[in-house]
Structure 1
Amino acid sequence: MIDSKIIDQFVAAVTRALPEGPKGFEKNLRAAMQGVLDRMQLVSREELEVQEQVLSRTRARLHELEKRIAELEENLKKK
């Protein structure tokens, strides 16, 4: 979910750039932006960083397991 501060900043910038619009314009723009961003299924920077850490740990564990399997296969060949 996108931080509502980003949407608020965008809406504020747009409303400053446009002349006085119809009543409720800001509210409708905010709702439209939230809808668009929700449909895009974006994630926050924090969520991305957490997933990067999980992936890094998973890769490290996979490397350890591959090394262990190679050692076990080598031991089987020796026997």
Structure 2
Amino acid sequence: MIDSKLLDDLAKRVAGSVPVGLQLLQEDLQKNLRSALEAGLSHLELVTREEFEIQRAVLLRTREKLEGLERRIAELEADTRPSAD
């Protein structure tokens, strides 16, 4: 889930960048932007950096095992081929 502080900060930045004439509505705009951001981001399948790094490590180990198995199969196939004498 997205950090609430991050959403607040993003909403403040966007609301702070509105033209001067609209800054009277800044607080209301900030609340609405935060709600819109939260709703929009909730539909995305986001993961934390920690979850991403864990899955990355699992994938790397799996890839290494697969490469090892592929090498082993190639060795076994080479051992079982009839010689061309």
TM-score relative to the length of structure 1: 0.72
- Paired residues for 1:1-79 under 5 Å: 1-18=1-18, 19-21=23-25, 24-77=28-81
Q: Measure how far apart 1:61 and its partner are.
A: 0.7
Identical amino acids, percent of aligned pairs: 43
Contact persistence 1:11–1:30 (CA under 8 A): yes
1:5-25 deviations in Å (ceiling 9; x for gaps)? 321210121233341317654
Q: AA paired with 2:62?
A: T
- For structure 2, which runs of at least 5 residues remain unmatched after alignment? none
1:16-57 deviations in Å (ceiling 9; x for gaps)? 334131765433321210111122323333332222212111
Larger radius of gyration: 2
- For structure 1, which runs of at least 5 residues remain unmatched after alignment? none
TM-score relative to the length of structure 2: 0.68
Q: What is the SS of the residue equivalent to 2:81?
A: helix
Q: What is the SS of the residue equivalent to 2:24?
A: coil
**Alpha carbons of 1:14 and 1:23: their partners in 2 closer, same or farther (altered >3 Å)?**
closer
The structure, 1 or 2, with the larger RCO (C-alpha pairs under 8 Å, 6+ apart) is 1
How many residue pairs match? The answer is 79
Q: What is the SS of the residue equivalent to 1:2?
A: coil
